[in-house]
Amino acid sequence: MLKQCEGSHAVAEAVALCRPEVICAYPISPQTHIVEGLGEMVKSGDVKNCEFINVESEFAAMSVAIGSSAAGARTYTATASQGLLFMAEAVYNASGLGLPIVMTVANRAIGAPINIWNDHTDSMSQRDCGWIQVFAETNQEALDLHIQAFKLAEELSLPVMVCMDGFILTHAYESVDMPAQEQVDGFLPPYVPRQSLDPDDPVSIGAMVGPEAFSEVRYLAHSKQLQALELIPRIAAEYRQIFGRDAGGLVRPYRMDTAETVVIALGSVLGTIKDTVDEMRDEGLKVGVLGITSFRPFPLAAIRDAVKSAQRIVVLEKSLAVGIGGIVATNVRMALDGLPIKVKTVVAGLGGRAITKASLHRVFRQAIHDQIEPVHFLDLDFGIVNRVLEREREQRRSGPIAENILRDLGAVASKIG
C-alpha cells in the first residue's frame, strides 16, 4: 500500500513485518525514531511475540542482541555514529560468532568535533568487522533492504547492517509502497538457527581458538561474505518476483551506455547525482552512474564488469580515510586492477554539508577535463583552512581548531544551503 511517511517510520513498519522476536536499542540521533516506532508497535500489540528491551548503552544493545540471537530469536537493533563505535567490540563478536542480527545504521558523522549530521564515517569505520553492509538510496529501498536483510542474514548466519543516510532519509517524508504481511511471510520463512543456546540441549558458543585454527575460522568468515556475493542478487531477484520492484542487489548502473566518465557513490546522494547526470547527458556529455548497494561484501567483479569500458571514474564518497583519502575509491581501484581507467576521489558531504547539483556539475566537468586532484574535497573553503594554518605558524598556543574556525566564520545559523 502506498503511503506518505517518514523514512524512520517506514523502516520500523518493515522491521515489524519481519516478525522480530527481540528488539533492543539505545536512543541516538538520527536513528531514534525507528526504535521509538517499534517500541510503540510492540507495546500496542501490533508486533506480537516480541520483546522490546531498553538497554543502558549501545554496548549493552549489541550484547543483548548477541544473547538473544544466540538463543535463537530473530533480533533487531539500530544505532548511529558514536553509538556504533561504542558497541564496536560486540559488533565484531556478533559476526565472529555468526549471529544473524539485523541492525540499521542511520549514518552520521563521528566526532570530534561533535556533529549530529549525516556522512558515512560511522559505517565505514566498521567496514571490516565481518558484517554485511548494504546502503539504501531511498526510503523505499531502505524499507525493502530491511526485509531482504533478515533473509540474507539468516541464510548465511551472518549479521547485516542496513545503512541509510541520517536525516536525509530517516527524517524525510516521501511515499513508500508498504508490503502486506502475507507478502513478507511468503518471502521470509521463520528463522531456523544454525546454532542456539538451549538449556535442554546445552552447547557452548564462543570457544577460544588459538593459532591452530584461528586463521581457518577467519577464512570461513571471508568465504561466507563471498557466498553473499551470489546470494544477494538471488535474493533481489526473488524479492522482485514477490514484491514487483527492484531493490538490493550488488550494484545499480544508471545511464551507463557509452559512458566515458562513471560516477560511483553510495546512498541517498545517488538521487542528486542522477539528476545532475541527466542534465549532463542532455548536453551530450557521456556520463553514467554506478550505485554500490552492497559495500560488504565488496562486489569487485560486478564493478569491474560495469565500468570496464569507461575512461575515468569519479568516486564520490561521504567519508575520509584521514592520511590517505578515499575509502570507497581505494576499494574501487582494487576492482580495476590492470585496466587503463583513471580514478579520482571526491570527498563530499562530510558532517552534513549539502551536496548540491551545482557543485556536482562543476566537479564532474572538471573531472571530465582531468582537472581535479586525485583526492578532491568538494566545496572545501580553503580560506578557512589557510587561516588556521597561518595561526598555527604564527603562534604556539594557537588554541582549539574547531572553536577558532567557528569564531572566524561568525554566525552559522543563517546559512541555508
Partner 1 sequence: MFQVRIHGRGGQGVVTGAEMLSVAAFLEGRKAQAFPSFGSERTGAPVVAFCRIDDKEIRLREPIMQPDALIVQDPTLLHQVDVLSGLKRPDGYILINTHKTFDELGLGEFVKGMPADRLVCVPATELSLKHVGRPVPNVPLLGAFAAASGLISLASVVAAIKDKFGGKVAEGNAAAATEAYNTVTARMKDASHA
What is the contact surface with partner 1 in residues (CB under 8 A)?
4, 6, 116-117, 138, 167-168, 171-175, 268-272, 274-275, 354-357, 413-417
CB 174 within 8 A of CB 39: no
Which residue number, 126 or 359, has a Cβ lying nearer to partner 1?
Answer: 359
Q: How far is the CB of 317 from partner 1 (least distance, A)?
A: 15
Which residue number, 170 or 319, has a Cβ lying nearer to partner 1?
Answer: 170
The continuous run of DSSP H or E covering 403 comes out as helix 401-409
Q: How far is the CB of 30 from partner 1 (least distance, A)?
A: 8
Which residue number, 90 or 277, has a Cβ lying nearer to partner 1?
Answer: 277
The type of residue at 376 is H
Which residue number, 172 or 300, has a Cβ lying nearer to partner 1?
Answer: 172
Q: How far is the CB of 413 from partner 1 (least distance, A)?
A: 5
Nearest Cα to 365, choosing from 347, 348, 346? 346
Residues 303 and 315: their CA atoms lie apart, in Å, by 12
Residues 57 and 138: their CA atoms lie apart, in Å, by 29
Which residue number, 10 or 341, has a Cβ lying nearer to partner 1?
Answer: 10
CB 299 within 8 A of CB 331: no
To which residue does cell 561466507 refer?
224
Residues 262 and 316: their CA atoms lie apart, in Å, by 10
Q: How far is the CB of 142 from partner 1 (least distance, A)?
A: 14
The continuous run of DSSP H or E covering 265 comes out as strand 261-265
Nearest Cα to 373, choosing from 349, 350, 342, 352? 342
Which residue number, 9 or 74, has a Cβ lying nearer to partner 1?
Answer: 9
CA separation, residue 386 to residues 50, 345, 390, 392 (Å): 55, 22, 6, 10
Residues 6 or more apart whose CB falls under 8 angstroms from that of 66 comprise: 90, 93, 94, 97, 99, 101
Residues 91 and 77: their CA atoms lie apart, in Å, by 11
Q: How far is the CB of 372 from partner 1 (least distance, A)?
A: 20
Listed in sequence order, the DSSP H helices in 97-195 are 121-125, 139-156, 181-187
Q: Which three cell numbers stand for residue 160?
A: 547485516
Q: How far is the CB of 368 from partner 1 (least distance, A)?
A: 21
Residue 304, Cβ density class (10 Å: 0-12 exposed, 13-18 middle, ≥19 buried): middle
Q: How far is the CB of 170 from partner 1 (least distance, A)?
A: 10
Which residue number, 275 or 305, has a Cβ lying nearer to partner 1?
Answer: 275
Which residue number, 397 or 407, has a Cβ lying nearer to partner 1?
Answer: 407
Q: How far is the CB of 273 from partner 1 (least distance, A)?
A: 9
Q: How far is the CB of 33 from partner 1 (least distance, A)?
A: 12
Size of the chain in residues = 417
Which residue number, 31 or 268, has a Cβ lying nearer to partner 1?
Answer: 268
Nearest Cα to 24, choosing from 62, 73, 71? 62
Q: How far is the CB of 186 from partner 1 (least distance, A)?
A: 27
Q: Is 300 helix (H, G, I), strand (E, B) or coil?
A: helix
Residues 69 and 101: their CA atoms lie apart, in Å, by 7
Which residue number, 246 or 373, has a Cβ lying nearer to partner 1?
Answer: 246
Nearest Cα to 119, choosing from 171, 167, 59? 167
Which residue number, 82 or 309, has a Cβ lying nearer to partner 1?
Answer: 82
Q: Cβ atoms within 10 A of the Cβ of 280, count?
A: 21
Q: How far is the CB of 164 from partner 1 (least distance, A)?
A: 12
Q: Is 102 helix (H, G, I), strand (E, B) or coil?
A: strand
